[in-house]
Structures are given as C-alpha cells and as structure tokens.
Amino acid sequence: MNGTELAERSAVSRAKRRIGHKLGPWAVFFKGFIQHPVMVGSIIPSSRFTINRMLARTDWDRCKLFVEYGPGVGTFCQPVLDRLRPDGALIVIDTNPLYIDYLNRTIHDPRFTAVLGSAADVEKIVKERGHDGADYVLSGLPFSTLPDGVGPAIVDATHRVLNTGGAFLVYQFSAAARDFMAKRFDRIDSDFEPLNVLPCKMFWGHKD
C-alpha cells in the first residue's frame, strides 16, 4: 500500500469513528432492538420533550433513591443525575447486557449503579445495595408486549418497594400499564407527549 492509499484509508476510518461517535447511543439502542424487539418495544430512544415532561413532577429535594426500569442506552440517566441531590442514588435495571455494558462504559458518577436483571426483582436489588425503599421508580418498559404475568408482577413489586409518598412514573405508547397500575395504585395522574416517536402516554401512580 502506498502513502496516498494509507492517507485515504486513515481519513476514511477517522470519518467512520466520528460518525460512530455521533450515532453511538442510537446504534447501540437499535442493535438491542434487533436482538430483542419485544423486550425493547421501540426503535429509537425517548425525546427530550418526553424526558422533561416525565421528570417535571418529581420532588427532587426529597428523593434519596431513584430507580429506573429499562434505561436502554441511558436517555433518562444523565437528566436524572443532573436533578438528583448530591447524596442521592440512581439504580437502573435492564435485562439486556448490551445496554448495561454501554451504561457502565459511558456514565461515570458515584451515585449511579447499573444492574443486569429484571424489574420484577427490584426489591432484592434495592435491598442488596443498602436501601430500605425507593422514593421514585421510573419505567420505560413496553408493558403491552412483556410476557404474560410479567407486567402485573412488576407493578406489585414496585408498589411494595416504594416509600410512602413515593410515585411510579410510567411512559408508554399504549395505556396497558395504566390498567396494571390501577390494581395497586389508588391515585393515578396522566399526561401525553406528542413530540416523541411514537407519541407517548404518561402515568404517575402515587403511593399515599
């Protein structure tokens, strides 16, 4: 290979690295979708409009432990960490090792823990990390496509793990989660974010 060919090849690989860096999280998210379409349930991460609307009702001063189910490539993680108090903690739980590995490589914050596991095991996961309960639990899980029985089991476990005064924050394309939530949470608030692919329903289940 002569000098011109070498220079061309290194320019191409620099351009590929730049594009790869820009597309990084989206490419990882899409790869996870191709591997497990039913578990991921969406081809692109949530929009910033969804993130802001979903997190706006949280009382950050009283939040010591925030738990997230199905973080994917961490669309919500940095916005949560930006709002979380310095002595707070964020535990995220995802069944996909590709996503957990990506989060561990990209988020370096002592308040952050990424756990490979199922949201159904939230009580054990929270206890093992030294917490008695969670103040808020956020879910991006595709409730309507989860295997039979998994959705209700996750809602039951979430209700048990929440501290009194806490809330279960759920965003989804369908209202399937609301039906499960209604069996455990007496008070549920709703909202809607049109600027998301697809437009997104939002629910807050309060543990009064």
Ligand X SMILES: C[S@@+](CC[C@H](N)C(=O)[O-])C[C@H]1O[C@@H](n2cnc3c(N)ncnc32)[C@H](O)[C@@H]1O
Tell me the sheet residues that pair with 93: 69, 115
Using the rule CB under 6 A, which residue among 63, 70, 84, 88 binds ligand X?
70
Using the rule CB under 6 A, which residue among 84, 90, 93, 169 binds ligand X?
93
Q: Which of residues 138-177 bind ligand X (CB under 6 A)?
A: 140-142, 150
Closest separation in Å from C-beta 39 to ligand X: 4
Judged by CB under 6 A, the stretch of 38-46, 83-91, 156-164, 196-204 that binds ligand X is 38-46
Q: What is the largest CA-CA distance in the chain?
A: 73
Using the rule CB under 6 A, which residue among 63, 66, 72, 161 binds ligand X?
72
Handedness of CA 61, 65, 68, 69 (dihedral sign): negative
The pair of structure tokens assigned to 192 is: 């809607």
The pair of structure tokens assigned to 206 is: 């309060």
Q: Could you say whether residue 96 binds ligand X (CB under 6 A)?
A: yes
Buried b (16+ CB within 10 A) or exposed e, 32-67: bbeeeeebbbbeebbbeebbebbbeebeeeebbbbb
Using the rule CB under 6 A, which residue among 69, 136, 185, 204 binds ligand X?
69
Using the rule CB under 6 A, which residue among 66, 71, 115, 161 binds ligand X?
71
Using the rule CB under 6 A, which residue among 58, 66, 67, 76 binds ligand X?
76
Using the rule CB under 6 A, which residue among 94, 170, 202, 203 binds ligand X?
94
Task: State the Cα–Cα distance between residues 91 and 134, nearest whole angstrom.
Answer: 10
Cβ(90)–Cβ(111) below 8 Å? yes
Helix (H) or strand (E) holding 175: none
Q: Could you say whether residue 102 binds ligand X (CB under 6 A)?
A: no
Q: Which of residues 48-67 bind ligand X (CB under 6 A)?
A: none
Which parts of this chain interact with ligand X (CB under 6 A)? 39-42, 45-46, 69-72, 75-76, 93-96, 99, 118-120, 140-142, 150
